[in-house]
Amino acid sequence: MKRIQLGPFNRVEGDLEVNLEVEGGHVVSAQVNSPLFRGFEQVLIGRLPEDALTIVPRICGICSVAQSAAAATALADLAGITPPPNGLLAQRLIQATENLADHLTHFYLFFMPDFARSVYAGRDWYAPVAARFMAVKGKAAGDVLQARARFFNLIGFLAGRWPHTLALQPGGSTKAMTPAERIRVLALLREFRAFLENVLLGDTLEAFSALDSEQALLAWAAGRNADFPLFLHAAGDLALERTGRAADRFLSYGAYGLFASGLWQPDAPPAKLDATKITEDTRHAWLADSEPLPPARGETVVNAEKAGAYTWCKSPRYAGQVVETGALARQVVAGNRLARDLVERHGASVTARVVARMIELAGVLPAMEQWVRDLVPGDPFCLPAPLPESGEGIGLVEAARGSLGHWLSVKRGHIERYQIIAPTTWNFSPRDRENQPGPLEQALVGLPAGDGTLPTVQHVVRSFDPCMVCTVH
């Protein structure tokens, strides 16, 4: 038995360390460690509830809007109000911009550079992949930074700036779009569509969205000259469609009124979401131990010397079970046929997780175009949202990386408790008191590791698009 410690695990958002036990060149056990603690839940306690809108985006610089959206939703729940239609559309547009930009950033800047490693020289796909995706120096880096920066101009119009906007409010959005901005935003969406169609996919978004099985996907990709088909070629060569399976139990809170919420697993009927089944376990975190608690009663109390602990991350569980969250989970729960086919054939995998991000890029952009058309000039974007002196609120949203929940309680006008479960907290959770490993800990078992092996472990870790700064909030 050999122990391997991997870190710093860069090109993820935040800090990650992975500890592997290796036997015969394969991983027999994995421990995932978040070696940073930030303590935002304590920062929030005692503050005015509306101050959460300023503080929580600063949990994360890559899904800052998702944090805003969760807080705004929790405060709207506390206030018992719903934003007006324009406000909801604006919120969706702002959230979707960030989520799609995250998918793009992940694919080009975080995930693909590992395929440009010299260990792959000699593969028939290596030369074009290395030329496009070499970290910082690859040709695609300039293309994607330009497309990403231009796409984020939507946020300039809709939310002032990114990251860390205050535009998302419980009552809607602080920024009413002007008629001229509506035209500009549609033009920016067309520009982004052109990038996705010409550079990323090599086909129309609608044609890609129509793919309904692994077989259809592979037939579509054959001989197609664009960045994502290039990945599929490399992934097929490396059998990544059969690599990186976790619990195969998928959770989604539902997004944009477009993707359903729920729980899905193979060979079982889809289940409705029941948020009361969510608990967090702290057995292997450097946090005070207690029974697994629902987040509405959860605590985050540091115990840095705790025996048996190996991370700052808690273990969220749904009905006591390990679940995976993210774009793949969202699409599987929502019933996307391609995502379901991939999972039913092979289980969750590196390939399936990346494909699911493409499904969202192709599917959500046309929806954004429609949301802009649906805005009604002159109608309100934001309603006043007076908050009660005491009460509770829950905000469940989908960030790019998966299910994000905020649970808040207010007493005498101040925040009494604020608990957050981020997507990566689910996916990169440590073992719980039943000794069930978290999704990534499961996904790494059986992979080749040690001297001279391919970077399969890296592909699997990055396939989840981890956001550790959120995890350790």
Partner 1 sequence: MKVLWLQSAGCGGCTQSMLCAAPRPLFDELRDAGIEFLWHPALALESGEEALAILEECAAGRLAFDVLCVEGAMLRGPNGSGKFHLMAGDGRPLTEWVERLARQARWVFAIGSCTAYGGLSASTPGNPLEACGLQYDTDTPGGLLGAAFQSSGGLPVVNIAGCPTHPGWVVDTLEKLALEGLNASDLDEFGRPLLYADQLVHHGCARNEFYEFKASAQKHSDLGCLMENLGCKGTQAHADCNLRPWNGSGSCLRGGFACIACTEPGFESPGHAFQQTPKVAGIPIGLPTDMPKAWFVALAALSKSATPKRVRDNSVVDHPVVRPTVKKGVK
* Nearest distance in Å: CB 306, partner 1: 12
Draw the binding track, 367-406, toward partner 1 (x: CB under 8 A; -: no contact): ----------xx-xxx-x----------------------
* Nearest distance in Å: CB 95, partner 1: 15
Q: Which is nearer to partner 1, 332 or 415 (CB)?
A: 415
Residue recorded with tokens 């998302």:
168
* Rounded Cα–Cα distance for residues 293 and 282 (Å): 9
Strands 26-33 and 17-23, by their bridges, are antiparallel
What is the SS3 assignment for 91?
helix
Q: Which is nearer to partner 1, 9 or 464 (CB)?
A: 9
Report the 10 Å Cβ neighbour count for 237.
Answer: 13
Q: Which is nearer to partner 1, 291 or 305 (CB)?
A: 305
Q: Is 162 in contact with 155 (CB distance < 8 Å)?
A: yes
Handedness of CA 161, 328, 265, 458 (dihedral sign): negative
Site for partner 1 in 12-31 (CB under 8 A): 13-17
**Which of 178, 215, 370, 390 lies at the binding interface for partner 1 (CB under 8 A)?**
178
Handedness of CA 93, 97, 98, 100 (dihedral sign): positive
Tokens read off for 291 = 């029974």
**Which of 28, 81, 135, 271 lies at the binding interface for partner 1 (CB under 8 A)?**
135
Asked if 268 is part of the footprint of partner 1 (rule: CB under 8 A), the reply reads no
Site for partner 1 in 53-82 (CB under 8 A): 53-55, 58-62, 64
Q: Which is nearer to partner 1, 67 or 325 (CB)?
A: 67
What is the SS3 assignment for 299?
coil
* Nearest distance in Å: CB 186, partner 1: 15
**Which of 120, 125, 157, 256 lies at the binding interface for partner 1 (CB under 8 A)?**
157
Asked if 48 is part of the footprint of partner 1 (rule: CB under 8 A), the reply reads yes
Draw the binding track, 406-435, toward partner 1 (x: CB under 8 A; -: no contact): ------------------------------
* Nearest distance in Å: CB 399, partner 1: 13
Which residues, at least 6 apart from 263, have a Cβ–Cβ distance to it below 8 Å?
249, 250, 251, 270, 271, 272, 273, 318, 323, 333
* Rounded Cα–Cα distance for residues 238 and 123 (Å): 10
